[in-house]
Structure formats: structure tokens, C-alpha cells
Amino acid sequence: MRIRTQSARSGFTLIEIMIVVAIIGMLMAIAVPNIAKAGKTARRNACMANIKNIESVIEQYKLEQRTAPASLGVLVSAGYFKTEPTCPEGGTYTISPEDGEVTCSIPAHSSSAITTTDGAGQ
Ligand SMILES: [Zn+2]
């Protein structure tokens, strides 16, 4: 009698452990892609904020210097930026000489781009 009750309480059965592991696996399968996507969206938003910031600085430069800056390096050497802004995902910024519009070399980072990877938009 005593031995039976002890063996019944001696821990989890293999089936119970397998169920718990399966539940944890399902939760991971749901959570991991969402976390990865959130990081990508955050880097894209940071890049778009950089672009807006650069464009407003270009407007200021044009008002004061009466010419458009040729590159970001010009803005740094003229004292408008302490350091050159960089894309969080490693893209490079180019300044359009006509209208001063800034674009990132990663197509999804320009403000007019529509995300095609998930279709969720912004
Ligand atoms: Zn970018």
C-alpha cells in the first residue's frame, strides 16, 4: 500500500512531459516569427525616421547655402550632422540632386514602398 502511493507520486509520466513539450513547441512556433518581424519593422521605421530627418536637414541646408548638398558627407562637414546617419539594416542613403529627396538602398525603406513580405502594411 505504501509503496503503491509513492510510485504513483514519483513524478510526471512520459505522456505528460511530451504534452508539455508539444505545447511549448507550439507557443515557440507562434512567437518566434512575430518577434523576428517586429525587429524588422522597428529597423524599417527607424530608417524611415532617418530619411525624414535627413530631408528636413537638407531643406535647412538649401535655405542657408542656396544649393543642394551633394552627399551626406557634405552635411556632416558643414556641421548639420555630428555623424552620418546610417540605415539600421546596412542600406546606404542617396540624395536626389533634383528635389533633395532621400532614398535608402533597401527598397522597402522608402516611404512610398508597399511591403510585399507580409501584406500587413505599417
Ligand atoms: Zn534603410
pLDDT digits (tens, 9 = 90+) for 54-80: 999 999 999 999 988 988 999 999 999
Closest CA to 85 of 118, 119, 46: 46
Collect all residues with Cβ–Cβ distance below 8 Å to 81 and sequence separation of at least 6.
57, 72, 75
Candidate from 6-15, 29-38, 67-76, 100-109 with smallest mean pLDDT: 6-15
For the chain, give every domain's residue range: 13-109
CA of 30 to the centre of ligand 1 (A): 27
| Class of the CATH domain delimited by 13-109 | alpha beta
Q: At residue 97, does pLDDT exceed 90?
A: no
Calculate how far, in angstroms, residue 43's C-alpha sits from the geometric centre of ligand 1.
8
Quick one: pLDDT at residue 100? 81
**91 Cα to the center of ligand 1, angstroms:** 5
CA of 42 to the centre of ligand 1 (A): 11
Strand partners, 93: 104
b/e per residue, 88-106, with b = 16+ CB within 10 A? beebebebeeeebebbbeb
Q: Residue 65 Cα, ligand 1 centroid: separation in angstroms?
A: 27
Q: How much distance in Å is there from the Cα of 55 to the middle of ligand 1?
A: 14
